[in-house]
Amino acid sequence: MNIVITGSLGNIGKPLTQELVQKGHAVTVISRKEERKNEIEAMGAKAAIGAMQDAGFLAATFKGADIVYLMESWEGMGSLFDRDADFVAAFRNIGNNYKQAVEQSGVKRIVHLSSIGAHTDKGTGSLFLHHTVENILQQLPGDVAIKFMRPVSFYTNIFRYMETIRKQGAIIQSYGGDRKEPWVSPLDIAATVAAEMEKPFNGRTIHYLASEEVSPNEVAEIIGEAIGKPDLKWLVIPGEQMLDHMLEAGMNEWIAKGLVEMQAAQGSGSLYEDYYKNRPVMGKVKLADFAKEFAFIYHK
């Protein structure tokens, strides 16, 4: 098949491209960076250099594709520490560009990387962005089949905890405890997306993606063991305090408030209500596997 991949060679795009090429598919990878071209071509794929903000470029690149994989990359939207950035408008713009490009190119099969929390527009904080794009893509003509892929929290998000682990000897968030929640490896996302591309497409379907369900306290225990800090704890601070810390660090206010609201939904379990109604088969990569990668970088 002729498959177009948006999102360049990120944590998901790279293994996804590798697997699809190995399976014999003709793959085009869209990247906004010219310097990615050689790496993309070395993998046996074709490089298309351009931006998600350019609907005409997208339409021309999508033309003739059997399947297009859509994701919203944060690149080109502005920094999370840009106080003036409007991320809702940026995501809405990309969603509309994707919709326009799909309509103009005639593509009939879409795989969209969305997110946990996209099932609702309330109480999920910054994950509201993914709900927005899903709704835009739902406006495509009925003969366009779409698989909405909703991964849960990425293991790689744990890298964000490295600074407080180093400086304060703890993971510090505004929720925690022993309630299990789902996590996912980008490698499992790539494998699942590749498999779904080779299955029939019918209408609009939702697919949740997860690798393992572990609690915040278990995360601290597993990561602590891996880095040689067996007493590592996951500490909980009030949401207001966490918000103050992020704003003092210069984070965009909408993003900071959204992260606190999202963590409140994680703590109450409300973020996962639809996930538990549609619980997927778990992937192969477990947190203990990722912890080895985390430890390597932590000690590097």
User: Which three-class secondary structure string do you get for the chain?
Assistant: CEEEECCCCCCCHHHHHHHHHHCCCEEEEEECCHHHHHHHHHCCCEEEECCCCCHHHHHHHHCCCCEEEECCCCCCCCCCCCCCCCHHHHHHHHHHHHHHHHHHHCCCEEEEECCCCCCCCCCCHHHHHHHHHHHHHCCCCCCCEEEEEEECEEHHHHHHHHHHHHHHCEEEECCCCCCCEEEECHHHHHHHHHHHHCCCCCCEEEEEECCEEECHHHHHHHHHHHHCCCCCEEEECCHHHHHHHHHHCCCCHHHHHHHHHHHHHHHHCHHHHHHHHCCCCCCCCCHHHHHHHHHHHHHC
Ordered structural domains, the chain, with CATH: 2-154+184-210 (3.40.50.720)
pLDDT in tens, 232-284: 999 999 999 999 999 999 999 999 999 999 999 999 999 999 999 999 999 99
pLDDT in tens, 165-187: 999 999 999 999 999 999 999 99
pLDDT in tens, 104-143: 999 999 999 999 999 999 999 999 999 999 999 999 999 9
